Structure 1
Amino acid sequence: MSISNTTNFTNPSDFILLGIPGLETAHVWISIPFCAMYAIALLGNSAILFIVKKEPSLHEPMYYFLCMLAVTDLVLSTSVVPKALSIFWFNSRQIDFSACLTQMFFLHCFSVVEYGIFVAMAFDRYVAICHPLRHSTVLTNLVVAKIGLAVMLRSGVLVLPCVLLAQQWPYCRTNVIPHSYCEHMAVVNLACADTRASSYYGLSLIILVTAMDMVLIAVSYTQILRVIYSLPTKDARLKTFETCGSHIAVILIFYIPALFSFFTHRFGRNVPLHIHILMANVNLLVPPMLNPIIYGVRTRQIRDRLLRLITHRDT
């Protein structure tokens, strides 16, 4: 199919994804680490879900939230990576207009879901450490389910306007998206209309969600640290803090590259496009790959259960 740069159309039947502009000759080589990271993410997050399901001692709020995080990571990476690999391997750049909007919704919706799950996990650690005697009564299975539902509803309600606005813009400049997936502003920038509503809404959404969630997480950990430093012995403080270590590491792995990618897309005009696109893809691959590894290594219950599974199969 030929790539149209000047054809006038208000409702394009499809878009053309370029992959990583400027690095087309290296697409095959880039696909190798991408595919490897995706495979590790699939295996690791599926293992987390399997272990928590099979181990009754892990049927606790902390591990339920971890399962929500694993499902979110699977959806996030799967919404983007298979199409990117088809571009890298088969030069399959065409994507249907409705499929593009669907990918946009799942990508941004589950990114916001991930933010919400981090807040829920911070709340769980706050209750477990600051009010341990009330943990089982405050975070019941029903409450955990309601928190998960609230996180999903919040994300869907906040992200849906982005997709609806993108759907109603007239596209008469080009149908070529200089990206490997349908990122919100990468699509909206193709419209031949005043798209400030989309731009302002997207910017406000990420700033408000990020700021609100980071404040809630910071408040939770401020209270947690106060309790930790009030403990009588160094060993007790270290052991208590270790229960939060995995969560803090996962938050940093997700937030830092996500914020870098977001603000680079809007304000980093001097950053080469291929660097930005690479970072955007890595941001969707590295956290899903590392999250189960971090929790598997640092959480004794998951590590022990995994070792038992491996040794049982070997015998």
Structure 2
Amino acid sequence: MDTSTSVTYDSSLQISQFILMGLPGIHEWQHWLSLPLTLLYLLAPGANLLIIITIQHETVLHEPMYHLLGILAVVDIGLATTIMPKILAIFWFDAKAISLPMCFAEIYAIHCFFCIESGIFLCMAVDRYIAICRPLQYPSIVTKAFVFKATGFIMLKNGLLTIPVPILAAQRHYCSRNEIEHCLCSNLGVISLACDDITVNKFYQLMLAWVLVGSDMALIFSSYAVILHSVLRLNSAEAMSKALSTCNSHLILILFYTGIIVLSVTHLAEKKIPLIPVFLNVLHNVIPPALNPLACALRMHKLRLGFQRLLGLGQDVSK
């Protein structure tokens, strides 16, 4: 047996920090991206906070659908706040260094928030399915208690299932390379620097993407397929339009989340196009939190009126 590995894995060679290089291939001018990313970052917490305040302020919005939207807004604020300050610090101040514990914590936060968002979208799809396909049973099934129990279960389940991701990454030995071709601590970007075997890490990452998030997406699209089938059977064009209008904003958002599966497959297949998965990962974590309020809330009539009333620009939302 080769004993040279005992030197390779000597604890004295363990690195103490990672260096986030930014977007691969465009390091020289990536700082120009800081302006649009800053605008998106300011939009994400600002617009989502406005949604939360409006829903809490207007009693007419104390309905399950709006409670789900409020919970989604909280998760979006958490996701954007987790990654954007460090990305902007890299672009503005060249602050590329990050300690190992902070990097592993970021890995957990990104995976946790993303998986919770996937579960919230599933709840929203179920809510629309029952409202459109089982309207008479909707008030008795989808209650405030149901919403909070479902979201509580999702947060607990997905929070626990994502814990092994940073733990497995922390168990790897990083003995030489510490430069990550990314502007955030992606799990696959970090473990690719390990000196020992990362098969179990890749397997769990793939399982999390396909089994957890993939199953959510499959159920979501199945729900909307049933909804579409039911809507097409309606005789009234007005009723059909109203039913579809409650779903299309959700579908726009869900399309962003299919990108994470493409991202995982691209990394695991070790494609020689590093900019594409890295840029996809950044956009996937930045754009949805900023667009959720625009794609969902602004298409909901009651919530729009709630915004106007809160800002002193409109009439009572109950009218």
The normalised TM-score by structure 2 is: 0.90
User: Which one-letter code corresponds to 2:302 in the other structure?
Assistant: Q
More displaced, 131-140 or 282-291?
Answer: 131-140
Matched, 1:171 2:174: yes
| Cross-structure match for 1:130 | 133
- Report the Cα offset of residue 9 of structure 1: 4.8
Of residues 234, 246, 251 in structure 1, which corresponds to 2:237? 234
Matched, 1:282 2:294: no
Question: 5+ residue gaps in structure 1?
Answer: 1-6
- Report the Cα offset of residue 28 of structure 1: 2.2
Distance 1:101 1:197, change over 3 A: same
Of residues 258, 261, 280 in structure 1, which corresponds to 2:260? 258
Matched, 1:224 2:227: yes
For the 8 Å contact 2:210–2:261, the answer to whether it is kept is no
Give distance in 2, aligned partners of 1:10 and 1:289.
Answer: 42
List structure 1 segments (4+ residues) > 4 angstroms apart after TM superposition.
7-11
Matched, 1:50 2:50: no
- Report the Cα offset of residue 181 of structure 1: 0.9
| CA displacement, residues 162-217 of structure 1 (integer Å, 9 cap, x when unaligned) | 11111111111212222111111111111111110001111121011233112211
Matched, 1:300 2:298: no
More displaced, 302-311 or 200-209?
Answer: 302-311
Distance 1:226 1:27, change over 3 A: closer
- Report the Cα offset of residue 281 of structure 1: 0.9
Question: 5+ residue gaps in structure 2?
Answer: 1-9, 315-319
Give distance in 1, aligned partners of 2:263 and 2:298.
Answer: 28
User: Superposition RMSD on alpha carbons, in Å?
Assistant: 2.0
Of residues 136, 152, 165 in structure 1, which corresponds to 2:155? 152
Residue 25 of structure 1 aligns to a residue whose secondary structure is: coil
Distance 1:10 1:65, change over 3 A: farther
Residue 74 of structure 1 aligns to a residue whose secondary structure is: helix
User: Which one-letter code corresponds to 2:111 in the other structure?
Assistant: H
Larger helix share, 1 or 2:
1
Percent identical: 36
Give distance in 1, aligned partners of 2:275 and 2:129.
Answer: 41
- Report the Cα offset of residue 10 of structure 1: 5.8
Of residues 68, 81, 86 in structure 2, which corresponds to 1:83? 86
Distance 1:270 1:191, change over 3 A: closer
Q: How many residues align?
A: 306
